[in-house]
Structure 1
Amino acid sequence: MNKLLLSISLITLVVGTMQAQSKITGIAKNSVTGEEVYNLTVRLDGMSNEAVMTDRIGYFQFIDVPDGHYKLQILGVGFDPYEQSINVAGEKEIELGEILLTFNPNNIDVGLITLNEDELSADESSTASNAGLLQSSRDVFARVAAFELGSYWFKPRGYDNKYNDIHFNGIRMNKIDNGRATFNNWGGLNDVTRRPDELTYGLEPSVYSFGDIGGVTNFDTRPSTLRKGISLAYSATNRSYRNRIMATYNTGLMDNGWAFMVSGSRRWAEEGLTEGTFHDSWGYFIGIEKRLNSNHTLNFTAFGAPNRRSTGSVNTQEMVDMKGIYYNSFWGWQDGEKRNERVKETFEPVFQLSHHWNFNSKSKLFTTLSYQTGREAGSRLNWYNAPNPTPNYYRNMPSWQLFLGNEEQYNLKKEDWLNGSASQLNWNKLYQANLNVGKHSVYYLTNDVNEDKTASFYTNFKTDLTNNIELIIAGTYQNVKSELFREVEDLLGGQYAKNHDDFSNVLQDVNNPDYVAKVGDRHEYDYEINRNHADLYIQSKIKGNLLDVTIGMHGSYTDFYREGKFKHGLYLDNSYGKSKTYDFFNYGIKSNFLFKLNGRNFIAVNGQYSTEAPTADEVFPNARLHDITVEESIVNAKIYSGDVSYIFRGPKVKARATAFYTKIEDEIEKGFGYIDGGEGSYFVAELMTGVDKQHLGAELAIEAQITPTIKVSGVAALGQYTYTNNPDYYLFSDDFIKSDGRAFRDYDISYLKDYRLQTGPQTGYSLGIEYRDPKFWWLGVSGNYLTNNYLDVAPYRRTVNFIRDIENEINEEKLKEVLKQSRVSDEFMLNLNVGKTFRFGSYYLGTSLTVNNILDNKNYITGGFEQLRLGNYDNAINENQQTLFGPRMFYGAGRTFFFNVFVRF
């Protein structure tokens, strides 16, 4: 009897298994030529992430597919990604038939246009355009914003980069000090980051995190999810680097369950487009994946990008008029070579271990442990009891002589600038000055260093509660220890650097009065920031025939404190040891409603309310010297954001029209600089609290396939990004401590309401046409118009202190003129891209050329800021001072090109 029952059970199990297993087949074809396409990667998401390749007739198959809901994905060089939902419910075989794929030159090498390399090399890189992140998006607007407008510092919706969350295997990579990701940490690894696992735009819901108003990007680094085979590439360009080589080898998932991937790159230039700059960057990636069984996969990832590069100066119009847009004040001749004082070095390697656990076709758990270490360092010239030697210091400018009333000296100084004798650093004089002293260096190079040690944990559980209801629960914890200090890089012939502050002449570290700093020693400031962060995220999606609804919520806890290592002579009670611990609780809720009017017309509505903790950089305005802050003003920022879109997806026309609105309240902004005002001249850290901003605008995009080979696209981005209140304004200065014992002063408010935010062009238009030949060559031309670009205003100039203690009687018209925000000129840019791919059996050879700004427009100002120096009305109306302390501006690069050739097999 027992044997009979056992036999019946086994037969039932076998029959049930056979009934629950299906076969899925299909053939991939080029939609234009009708030819079969082979060597494409086909994934069935939900089935242990199994991947297969199309064969020579474009055929692929999956066998033994259990019942369930799946997403079929097809990826390949030169084609738009393809996705299709599939329900398996007992069928023996599901024949998908011919799947038509769209050839797209943008996917030949998506790395052709990424985050602008010149932006990454500049001091202002933290505010660089984030459009490069959108390069893989199939949304028309997002793609054009990345490839066209993004090349000219256009930022979608005017958002700062800190509102874009960047993840690797679920681990958020944004920095704790300013909230922005350091793209240099994976620079050159295009074969790894070419196609993100997830890329959301704006408020779109994310699988991995609650996200921010700028969207979420996540990279899945499992070799089985990336392109299999060998890839070799060489690129030539005239941007911040001149040459790039890349090599990648990926075994794909082998029969023994292992997969290995290695990738490396180098980018270099003896001199970049900007005078006196060099670039030397490397990148490496190692991925090791082991599929233990159909349910469990382990993945080890290690990557890093050691890089060393020099930067350029931000110039006034006086400098540009004399020396051109590529002028750089940071370099000078030494022993027949150009030497730059501003050199940035970054190397922060990442190590991650991930576990993928597929419980069944409906539920999966994904967990990552991560550790990142390394350092960022930036050198600069320093001096003690000596005159400022930098050429762009205002007393070294020709216009300073006009301010003194000496026209003859002005002409002589201008001639010295024009012939180069006064416009560059004189390294020999710096060495000679140190030799004259004989012991301590009066001039020396220092490094401002940030060494982070970041340990992170992330887990994500995703399940389909029913065929129509999806649930995601994700949690993360991160601990960061940041050491921030200044170290001596080069004593320039001297023996040591003194332990005294240059401005106040007090000891920089009272605990060690006899301390002197030699090469490699810490100097001037030394402190730590210790931070903990935990976040819990829950999201549910309900899918219906006419409406999809997604609701997401999160709660987070953040705490941090400062621990000073030096006891500064001016801040005996607030510089050494641990500060108070600041902790913040935050939460957010977001929703997405997708109305499916029919198969081609959709309406999407997104909304979000969230709070965000201030960064350590904002809480401690002058953290290098002390832990003093404005206690009552340290609060969470509040974000209200929403958008509504009409989307059309036709066989030949794709279009989207979106209106968006974002209100940000209680932000904190800070800056550094000199102020010359009625009270005197001070070096200050300025702090604004309770800052409210508004981002209002519309996005319009259309893409039309006019013929099988000709496509036209048009985009309009209309924005108005403004301050909406008058925030509280404070100044921190050592001079205040010396005069009245206070570390900061309250200057009431800065009248910033209705001034424009400095976000790059707030309005942009792009019109492009491309021809894609069936024989795999293409030609594209686009015109781009950038407008409504404003320089950043100096908040102190908008306080009542600006008109106190002045000698001139206020003229209302002159006052309006000096307080008027500068708007840069509107500019037109023409771009060209052309390329050709060849196939030799299993080998692909591709070449492409992109030329931006064909017309070589060198008048384009991408951004800039007013100098703080003009600290009162008397100074601001003086024409000579207006020239001397005019706005610092970033100019576009003129005509640039990027040529790429690759071989893949």
Structure 2
Amino acid sequence: MKKITQFLFMSLLLLSTAAMAQSTVKGKVVADGFPLPGANVVEKGTSNGVSTDIDGNFTLQTNAASGSIVISYVGYSSITLKFNGSQDLGSITLEADNSLQEVIVVGTGVIDIAEARQTPVAVSTIRGKDIQLKIAGNSEFTESMKNTPSIYVANQAGGFGDSQLFLRGFNDTNTAFLLNGQPINSVEDGRLFWSNWAGMADVANAVQIQRGLGSSKLAISSVGGTVNIVSKTTEQKKGGFFRVMGGNDSFMKATVAYNSGVNEKGWAFSVLVDHWQAHRKYSIGTAGQGQNYLFSVGYKPNDKNTFNFLLTGAPQWHDQNFSNDLEEYELYGEKYNGNTGFKDGERFSERRNYYHKPVANLNWDYNINEKLDLSTVLYASWGRGGGTGMLGRGSRIRNDIGEIVFDDIVDNNVAAADSNGFAGFNDARVRRASVNNHNWYGLLSNLNIESGENWTFNVGFDGRLYKGDHWRQINDLMGLSGFVDNFRTDRPDDYVFTTEFDANPWSALFETADESERTQFDYSENINYLGGFGQAEYSTDKFSVFVQAAVSTQSFQRTGRFIGTGNGLGESEKINKTGYQVKGGASYNLDEQHTVFANAGTFSRQPFLDNIFRDIRNSNDLVQPEIENEEILGLEAGYRFTNDVFRFNVDVYRTEWGNRFLSFGTELPMDEFGTYRFTDVTQIHQGVEFDFEYRPIGGDFTLRGYGSLGNWKYEGSTPFTLQNDDTTVFLETNGNVELTDVKVGNAPQTSFGAGFVYNITEGLSVDMDYNLFTDLYEFVDVEDVVDAALNDTTYQAEKLPAYTLADAGVTYRFDLGDNKMTFRANVNNVFNSAYINQRDNFGYFLGIGRTFNASLRYNF
């Protein structure tokens, strides 16, 4: 009886203790200033949870006197809050984890993010915190975007910064890239060289990919879509960080950043610097080295005005790898690089890219009143650098592992030289640099007008001035004292070059060859651009409609300083082209969870300058017949679904791109290169794409995925010419080639991906992404196309093998005193899959095998 009494007493004591340990936690969850119904509130480490009511309120009976609760809602960043006894936590704000509003400190009116307009577009957003965790220095910045629909990243094996990005099958020349609202594609040919932006992973706060028509108001018309990069500016919070990083093939990097915070007079400063280097990226002979810097100063004199000045740049050099035949990879291995070898006992390459492109902008945000605000940015960039290659017809010898024997080139040059150590083009071989310098200035301004409760208007201005200078100079005389060359000039036959210019991004800023030291070609390009745009949108809680229009005029003029091909001296005729775009759309909210939308647009886009002239390096003559504007018609529709644990988006699209110009590089005899020129080509890209995110109650696990199914092909026939890049037109053919139903290559038309993030314990998480790529075709083999036309047969692009890739990572965050430490490790291509990444007219690019990196970051 005594034991039974003791047992009952202890049981009552335990029950009373447990009852006393329970707590009642209350609060209200809001997002964007409004209550968030259906948000999950869970006691951390348990399945005990509730959902917020229609007013965002919750009451949770916990099982402990103290602990933590996790509040989550799909599409928003989860938040963990501690409690100690019964308490009311008050208003709790969740931030949208795909929103850019809170990271845009300046330029709020000129940075065209999707949420600035109510009518939806096909969009994906990558936050800066994810970029800086996953994209280390030996991974390309472009790879931060690869787990999104209709994005393909190729040619990573080419060297540091040589990757290419495709959006809905369109390459970077036909996708608009904006940095804080300013365009950064090359004005001359639309290309984007990612090596010029090698530090973007460190300075990016977010990237938003707007596929197709997008929400950009600029007077530009992109075919594939718009990629908005929002960089760091002047941070308002005081603090900084130091990070060290290492990876495969001796990669190392160190970064330090500091923010002063805003002082009592409204001033704030931010600075970031880093240095990286590696003896190769993955393939042999792809060494690289560079720096990255950012300086920003902000000033807020009052509530109406905000100013910010930003200067950033990423000087770098890297040796390059080009495509090769499959037989060469079989002979020499998958890391083979046909550009490299040894010179004087050190690794040496024919091909080195070096560039320094400082970018500066001054932003002014003027809040005129509650209904009216003006944003203006004045920007400039000064690109200096180029790329090396060999010059001359002297012998080039390879050893039994396929590498160039540069010491033999030196010996042959010395043997061919005269008593002064001089040799000429037909007997010697030297390394030259093709210099591509530019000065680019622009002004972009947008006035935003709120009219009543439902109307929003935007009007703006976009102006740009650009001058590019291009020539060749001697980089390495390869054992000679001088190189004799009077190519396409009125110089004497024995004209000799004796000065060498470093292939170095820092010296390129200050060391410039004068006209007497330039060879092969020497010319400038002037491109002036003026555009205006406007937008009107009407929106209610149930639906929205918008219409947008832009018009621009662009002038082109070439100035030659060599005789060239008969008409290379002096200024060319000035060409003016006018372009426009008109687009509109509507959306309808079926209820709080379901939205449908549709958009349509038509563009008339000016041709690139490089396509206007018959031989841009050597002649002021225009292409005949004259190149006209390209015409684009885009249609898209979509559906959005969101509830507390699941988000799903699906889009369908069709883009018809007519009257376009195509050029294809090809090899010619005598180590020369040529270009096929096709005109009046039509491409049709259509498909469906989707993405989803699932975050179950508790928020410790997130599953995401995407899919893209496309049908991209050429349509119609086209005339063509074949031109020698170094001399004159090598071959002209008056016939047509048939391209109907030929698949568009270089990007997979079908791709799927899935990934997860799992928070194992507080501070420790693992993540993995898995991707499948198929229906990948070669870039049109122009020689086969021409042969098919001449032989009256049908050409079809080669289909490359499908492949899969898996990437994984682990993150551990912990406290060190009052500061935070973050350890991150990444393994890319976990299973070391072998695959063909791309095929161009010169050969195949193999993909990168398994790579890794790890970093340790200290926040203070």
TM-score band by shorter chain is 0.7 to 0.9
In the aligned structure 1, how far is the partner of 2:198 from the partner of 2:672?
Answer: 39
> Of the candidates 164, 173, 176, which is equivalent to residue 175 of structure 2?
164
Distance of aligned partners of 1:276 and 1:182 in 2 relative to their CA distance in 1, 3 Å threshold? closer
Q: What's the counterpart of residue 545 of structure 2?
A: 549
2:521 is aligned to 525
Q: Deviations over 1:231-255 (max 9, x none)?
A: 222222337x712222111123322
CA displacement at 1:727 relative to structure 2:
1.9
Contact 1:648 1:654 in 2 (8 A): yes
Q: 1:294 to 1:254 in 2, by over 3 A?
A: same
Structure 1: runs of 5 or more not aligned: 1-22, 39-52, 63-71, 85-103, 121-129, 392-415, 502-507, 804-809, 868-887
Indicate the SS of the match to 1:631: coil
User: Structure 1 CA distance, aligned partners of 2:736 and 2:278?
Assistant: 47
What one-letter code is carried by the residue in structure 2 that aligns with 1:864?
A: R
Q: Name the structure 1 match of 2:248.
A: 238
Give the superposition deviation at 1:293.
1.3
Q: Distance in 2 between matches of 1:165 and 1:228?
A: 34
SS at match of 1:200: strand
Residue 653 of structure 1 and its aligned partner are, at CA, apart by 0.9
Q: In the TM superposition, what is the alpha-carbon distance from 1:718 to its structure 2 partner?
A: 0.7
1:390 to 1:694, Cα distance in 2 relative to 1, 3 A: farther
Give how far 1:83 is off.
6.9
Task: Tell me which residue corresponds to 1:832.
Answer: 808
Aligned counterpart for 1:356 among listed residues 359, 365, 382: 365
Alpha-carbon separation, structure 2, partners of 1:754 and 1:143: 22
Where does residue 727 of structure 1 map in the other structure? Answer: 718
Letter in 2 for 1:345: Y
Specify whether residues 831 and 557 from structure 1 end up closer, same or farther in structure 2 by C-alpha distance, changes over 3 A only. Answer: same
* Correspondence 1:83-94 to 2 at 5 A: none
Matched ranges for 1:206-355 at <5 A: 206=216, 212-219=222-229, 223-224=233-234, 228-238=238-248, 242-355=251-364
117 and 620 in structure 1: CA distance in 2 versus 1, 3 angstrom threshold: farther
1:323/1:390 CA distance change after superposition, 3 Å: same
2:459 is the alignment partner of 1:473: yes
Distance 1:844 1:522 in 2: 54
CA change 1:225–1:73 in 2 (3 A) is: farther
Distance change in 2, residues 1:168/1:105 (3 Å)? closer
Equivalent residue number for residue 558 of structure 2: 562
Q: Is the CA contact (8 Å cut-off) linking 1:74 and 1:82 kept in structure 2?
A: no
Q: Read off the aligned partner of 1:176 and give its amino acid letter.
A: V
1:892 corresponds to which of 847, 853, 858: 847
For residues 233 and 586 of structure 2, what CA distance do their matches in structure 1 show?
Answer: 34
Higher helix share: 1
| Cα 1:252/1:287, change in 2 over 3 Å | same
Structure 1 residues 279 and 628, CA, compared in 2 at 3 Å: closer, same or farther?
Answer: same
1:711 to 702, 705, 714: 702
Pairwise CA distance, 1:658: 1.4
| Counterpart for residue 383 of structure 2 | 374
SS at 1:110 equivalent = helix
Aligned partner of 2:536: which letter? S
**What is the alpha-carbon distance in structure 2 between the residues aligned to residue 852 and residue 609 of structure 1?**
40
User: Hey, what's the Cα distance between the residues in 2 that align with 1:131 and 1:720?
Assistant: 24
Cross-structure match for 1:877: none
Match of 1:628 in 2: 621
Work out whether 1:187 is the aligned partner of 2:162. Answer: no
Q: Structure 1's 222 and 188: CA in aligned 2 closer, same or farther, altered over 3 A? A: closer
Q: Which has the higher strand share?
A: 2
The offset of 1:199, in angstroms, is: 5.2
1:755 pairs with 2:746: no
Show the counterpart of 1:111. Answer: 132
Match of 1:539 in 2: 535
| Match status 1:701 vs 2:691 | yes
SS in 2 for 1:359: strand
Contact 1:786/1:827 (<8 A) preserved: yes
* Distance of 1:541 and 1:145 partners within structure 2: 35
In 2, the alpha carbon distance for the partners of 1:652 and 1:142 equals 25
For the 8 Å contact 2:187–2:608, the answer to whether it is kept is yes
Q: Deviations over 1:637-687 (max 9, x none)?
A: 0111121111111111111121111111111122333357xxx99853221
User: Could you give the per-residue CA deviations for residues 132-170 of structure 1, whole angstroms, max 9, x where no partner exists?
Assistant: 4588xxxx7489999x9x999773411211233233343
**Do residues 516 (structure 1) and 491 (structure 2) align?**
no
Letter in 2 for 1:588: Q
Shift of 1:613: 0.9
CA offset at residue 225 of structure 1? Answer: 5.6
Deviations 1:379-418 (A, max 9, x none): 112114x33x164xxxxxxxxxxxxxxxxxxxxxxxx63x
Tell me what 2:422 maps to: 440
Q: Paired residue for 2:105?
A: none
- Structure 1 residues 115, 640: CA separation in 2 closer, same or farther (over 3 Å shift)? farther
- The verdict on how the C-alpha distance between 1:143 and 1:564 changes in structure 2, with shifts beyond 3 A counting, is closer
Please give the per-residue CA displacement for 1:507-556, whole angstroms capped at 9, x wherever unaligned.
Answer: x2125665322325211110011110111111122111221112211000
- Paired residues of 1:526 and 1:566 also in contact (CA < 8 A): yes
Change (3 A) 1:213 1:625: closer
The one-letter amino acid of 1:323's match is Y
Aligned length: 743
Cα distance in 2, alignment partners of residues 748 and 377 from structure 1: 37
Report if the CA contact (8 A) 2:523-2:559 is conserved: yes
Which of 626, 648, 653 lines up with 1:655 in the alignment? 648
**What is the CA–CA distance in structure 1 between the aligned matches of 2:521 and 2:473, rounded to whole Å?**
9
Alignment of 1:423-502 (within 5 A): 423-438=403-418, 439-441=421-423, 442-501=428-487
Counterpart CA distance in 2 for 1:635 and 1:365 is 35
Give the aligned partner of residue 885 of structure 1: none
> Is the CA contact 1:105–1:778 (under 8 Å) kept in the aligned structure 2?
no
Aligned to 1:691: 681
**What is the CA–CA distance in structure 2 between the aligned matches of 1:695 and 1:25, rounded to whole Å?**
40
Give 1:127-206 correspondences, 5 Å limit. 132=144, 141=149, 155-196=166-207, 200-206=210-216
Equivalent pair of 1:647/1:657 in contact (CA under 8 Å)? yes
Instruction: Give the counterpart of 1:601 among 561, 584, 594.
Output: 594
CA distance in 2, matches of 1:524, 1:363: 55
Mapped partners of 2:812, 2:523: distance in 1: 54
How many Å apart are 1:835 and its aligned residue? 1.5
Is the partner of 1:497 in helix, strand or coil?
Answer: strand
Distance 1:560 1:850 in 2: 46
User: Which whole-Å CA distance do the structure 2 matches of 1:225 and 1:60 have between them?
Assistant: 28
1:44-59 equivalent positions in 2, closer than 5 A: none
Q: Which amino acid aligns with 2:170?
A: Y
1:217 & 1:141 partners in 2: Cα distance?
13
Q: CA deviation at 1:627?
A: 2.7
Q: Does 1:776 align with 2:763?
A: yes
- Gap runs ≥5 in structure 2: 1-31, 45-67, 72-78, 103-124, 500-512
Q: TM-score, normalised by structure 1?
A: 0.75
When residues 800 and 781 of structure 1 are mapped into structure 2, their CA distance, relative to the original with a 3 A threshold, is closer
User: Structure 1's 177 and 345: CA in aligned 2 closer, same or farther, altered over 3 A?
Assistant: same
Match of 1:765 in 2: 752
Q: Is the 8 A contact 2:205 2:232 kept in 1?
A: no
1:339-384 deviations in Å (ceiling 9; x for gaps): 1121111101122222111112332111122221131310112114
Matches within 5 A, 1:834-853: 834-839=810-815, 843-853=819-829
Counterpart residue identity of residue 314, structure 1: S
Checking the alignment, whether the CA contact within 8 Å between 2:615 and 2:725 is kept in structure 1 is no
Query: Given the superposition, is the C-alpha separation of residues 584 and 152 from structure 1 closer, same or farther in structure 2, using an over 3 Å criterion?
Result: closer
Q: Counterpart of 1:125?
A: none
